[in-house]
Chains A and B, each alone.
Chain A
């Protein structure tokens, strides 16, 4: 999604004017855009550069002023670090398990909301409600639901399916699925509304023409709605991927407290990259190593973004960007 391009500069009415224009007038446009750049420099660019600098040093949280140059050691350490790769794969699997159902369900929801519904506004607000809740509050509630001994999920599994008590916190796949369900719950409605907005830009005539030709509702969805949504779908995939790469709060709080939540379970079974970053940086206080992890995460996101941008260029239906 880029920043909207600024309007083309006005053609000056008379050639003599620039000399008389006050300094203030010439500088004022910069003043207007300054807040963004000031904030970006302070909170975006500076940390980025500082993190890169740190990643080339051995520097401890307890003594920030004493950094020693280690070159690329922190990066070569990462490449051979099995916990980094464990966190990487956990982030990938959690990303897939949370993003795929999330977007499919969002698509279905948007399709339903796109019809004439009674109390349509109510439903649209209702699907967005989870998005407006806090990660911490939601995760704490879900952690209770997934409790081993008294959780509602285990109660259902037990009474309906006759399964034993699943220890979600201490098992890998049930744990990851449970964490993914929190992400799905929070973000499905948000994506549904984005899809809905895109669906409403598709001309009704196309559906009418298809209906006249005898196309079924499914056929209409597949051959009119989906192609029309392609750029939007890619956009939501990009945003969800970036979100998934940074997944932190849900797996961190899922265990309900206790020591070292940043391990992501006692066997690191759902430790994500962000949590591993936190462990190395703030539990172990090795800021240099943590900075290298942060940069690795940044590169992963850039890689995904580049891949999607390439895909987007290839599938754009009519050569016109919709993002």
Chain B
């Protein structure tokens, strides 16, 4: 009967091997003797890997190993991060947070993240744009997020399509088309449409322009006390009105941003203008490849606004908080922000980096006519210097998506009545935030 005992052991082992994987998660640390592994979890393209900064950091700190991963879609990333935070599993030592979620983090998740101030971040305060620094603080002044890039806005346009439509193509002349703001932009769009270029619309989607307009307003979806005001803020109503002119007026290609169809349209010339936060520069290049000198960049209608940009934060669950903070501080410092800008076009949130000649005097030969490269360092730098200090809210991202993906698309692509579509927005936002 000795066989029975071995069988029991075998069964126990089988159970153990089934259950084991969940038990040995956090053991990857001691890979090399005395080496620390920092897990960096980001979304989209922060540019650190691309600019070789992780390798450079590891070369300077032989005791640190950086393990980097990214999720392309920021929405999915954020959902996953929240699940990780609430269950305290699967967290990195350094996590990225997008600007539309930073207030959610500072207001609702302050307990889950480390105060970077005492760990050395406070020394950097005066280097940042003041509004950028302030957005990363918790209500009681802890440094939860350290700024990476910002998204000062410009307008990108297709020189060849403008020429075909009989519109000016020089940057200053194009900017003059909308010197009286978004009404001018819509009027120019009507001229473009009247030219009747087959297969080309004035802009990709009214949603993009709506986001750009909202980015220009100091008050957006929430007021400073954290109350939802999107349904009574005149700035939102104005932006919605202009977006409706674009959506219902046949000025848009009725695309959804960040979909494959949108990506293809950059190359095929389905739209002549696109709202252009600084990070869009890199995006256009990655989509259009060899189409040099078709696109150009000029000042946005209605002044300047911010769209996008991110933060770095260290979860409290990290076992290497000081080392993670050191890495975050190094990445947020001027030389590294300059390196990222040079590689990806992500605009520095660090003012010293923004004033660096490598940024300030940077012209991109991909944009503008041959021999007349677009001075994007100056265009975005000027825009960054004039940015309003925006009031952000905890659920900005949700409200924004429900208005653009829901409300505007219903009018733009489904031909619904704007008033009815707005009523659905209000119902959606109430259900989501209630």
Contact = CB atoms under 8 A, between A and B. Distances in A.
- Closest 3 pairs (CB-CB, A-B): A266-B409, A31-B11, A170-B413
Interface stretch (A44-52, A146-154, A210-218): A146-154
B58 interface: no
A257 B259 contact: yes
A283 B79 contact: yes
B122 interface: no
B431 A83 contact: yes
A173 to B, nearest CB: 13
A28 B4 CA distance: 7
Contact of A260 (B1, B254, B270, B405): B405
Contacts of A34: 11, 15
B243 to A, nearest CB: 14
A143 interface: yes
A318 B261 CA distance: 56
Interface stretch (B62-70, B82-90, B170-178, B325-333): B82-90
Contact of B75 (A62, A64, A170, A260): A260
Contacts of B140: none
A199 B416 CA distance: 51
Interface in B382-434: 398, 400-402, 404-407, 409-410, 413-414, 416, 424, 431-433
B86 A143 contact: no
A24 B86 contact: no
Nearest to B407: A266
Contact of A263 (B5, B254, B400, B406): B406
A149 B433 CA distance: 36
Contacts of B11: 28, 31-32, 34-35
B292 to A, nearest CB: 23
B4 A24 contact: yes
B108 A35 contact: no
A270 to B, nearest CB: 13
Contact of A266 (B1, B398, B414, B431): B414
A150 B264 CA distance: 9
A63 B86 contact: yes
A148 B261 contact: yes
A282 B84 CA distance: 12
A257 B260 contact: yes
A292 to B, nearest CB: 14
B414 A171 contact: yes
B261 A149 contact: yes
Interface residues of A, number: 40
A258 interface: yes
A24 B75 contact: no
A148 B258 CA distance: 15
Contacts of B431: 81, 83, 284
Given A28-B4, A61-B86, A149-B265, A258 B414 contact: no
A284 B259 contact: no
A25 B401 CA distance: 62
Interface of B: 1, 4-5, 7-8, 11-12, 14-15, 18-19, 73, 75, 79, 82-83, 85-87, 108-109, 254, 256-262, 264-265, 268, 270, 398, 400-402, 404-407, 409-410, 413-414, 416, 424, 431-433
A256 interface: yes
Nearest to A279: B432
Contacts of B256: 169, 255-259
Main secondary structure of the interface of B (DSSP, over half): helix
Interface string A253-288: 001111110010011000000000000001111000
B202 to A, nearest CB: 16
A3 interface: no
Contact of B414 (A31, A147, A259, A267): A267
15 contacts: A22-B4, A22-B5, A34-B15, A38-B18, A38-B19, A61-B83, A63-B86, A64-B86, A169-B256, A169-B413, A170-B409, A257-B258, A258-B259, A259-B405, A285-B82
B264 A149 contact: yes
A73 interface: no
B1 A22 contact: yes
Contact of A284 (B260, B262, B432): B432
Contacts of B259: 255-258
A24 B8 CA distance: 7
Nearest to B416: A267
Nearest to A147: B261
A282 B87 CA distance: 14
A239 interface: no
A35 B18 contact: yes
Given A25-B4, A144-B260, A149-B265, A266 B410 contact: yes
Contacts of A257: 73, 256, 258-260
Q: Which of B83, B259, B265 has the most CB of A within 10 A?
A: B259
Contact of B258 (A39, A259, A283, A284): A259
A27 interface: yes
B82 A61 contact: yes
A28 B7 contact: yes
A208 interface: no
